[in-house]
Structure 1
Amino acid sequence: MYSHCTYRLASEQLKALNGLDNVKKWVEGCGLKRAAVTNSPRANAELMITKLGLSGFFEAIIIGDECERAKPFPDPYLKAIEILNVSKDHTFVFEDSVSGIKAGVAADLHVVGLATRNPERLLLDAKASFIIKDYEDPKLWAALEELDMKKDP
């Protein structure tokens, strides 16, 4: 359960990262399955997802504390893969935390590190595939364009 203060802060201060709408459209356009995987309590995660306008976007919300082990262990990501019924080979993760990157790497997934709250060096040390500043980062769009070319021969 979240407090009135948490709700007010989320309402007033929570902002989507630059480019989120474009990534969302790209993901939806590709028909990719998607899950939110977080160590936040469920009420907080659902509040943030709602406030960011992503309620209908995610097919599943995986909460670390509802798994055998939370991040940095791979369990939350492995649960998401199982629920979505997808291949690890065709899965990629956006993560902004060191523990999340370690969890994605431990699950043998491709992890894009978001340098929004941690220095790039920490994210690279955690073994992120590459680092972006936000969803408008040219490195991200170059990688997504490459994926598009692989699926459309």
Structure 2
Amino acid sequence: MHNEELCKVLLPDWDLQRARKFMEDKEDLFRRLAAEQLKPVQGLRNLCKWIEEHGLKRAAVTNAPRPNAELIITMLDLTNFFEILVIGNECDRAKPFPDPYIRALQALELSYEHAFVFEHSVSGVKAGIAAGMPVVGLGTRNPEKLLLDAGASFVIKDFDDPKLWTALGDNQ
């Protein structure tokens, strides 16, 4: 759920301004913890290298608040890797709606027929599928079955997973 939705569900008796402030504080805490504990998913560097070598366009598409997304991208040294950053709440509708992915496709001047998605969340898989793209599920957060049930083509445990490299046509 998005923070605005969480306010209504978790804090229904609070006035909206107080609930929003609580959620902002939660995001600040997340950023502090991320700064101490964030580590890249295994194989991320190899995948980024492969993507760059193949000249593929790329976007980061997330429902995370912009400060969180920018922090994570910076910490993982991906600032120059992604051509654009699309924030779900800055679109008409966030994931699970396709709007963030459609915005990314438009910005990259790509057809959904020439794109695919890596997603770790059920709402993200649904958004990618709704935008017409195949989705590779990243099973670091959600069970494989949930990602497959949401429509993922297949699920990998990390970016070194042989299933990924077979699908990419590159036996690492």
TM-score above 0.5, yes or no: yes
Q: Are 2:60 and 1:60 equivalent residues in the alignment?
A: no
Match of 1:33 in 2: 57
Q: Are 2:155 and 1:128 equivalent residues in the alignment?
A: no
User: What secondary structure, in the 3-state scheme, does the structure 2 residue paired with 1:145 have?
Assistant: coil
Match of 2:48 in 1: 24
TM-superposed CA distance for 1:89, in Å, is 1.1
Match of 1:82 in 2: 106
Match of 2:73 in 1: 49
Match of 1:143 in 2: 167
Greater RCO structure (CA 8 Å; 6+ sep): 1
Structure number, greater radius of gyration? 2
Paired-residue identity, % = 63
Structure 1: tracts of 5 or more residues without a match = 147-153
Paired residue type of 2:60 = A
Match of 1:117 in 2: 141
What is the aligned counterpart of 1:105 among 122, 129, 133? 129
Give the superposed CA RMSD.
1.2
Structure 2: tracts of 5 or more residues without a match = 1-23
Rounded to whole Å, the distance in 1 between the matches of 2:33 and 2:110 is 35
TM-superposed CA distance for 1:19, in Å, is 0.2
Ranges of 4+ aligned residues in structure 1 off by more than 2 Å: 5-8
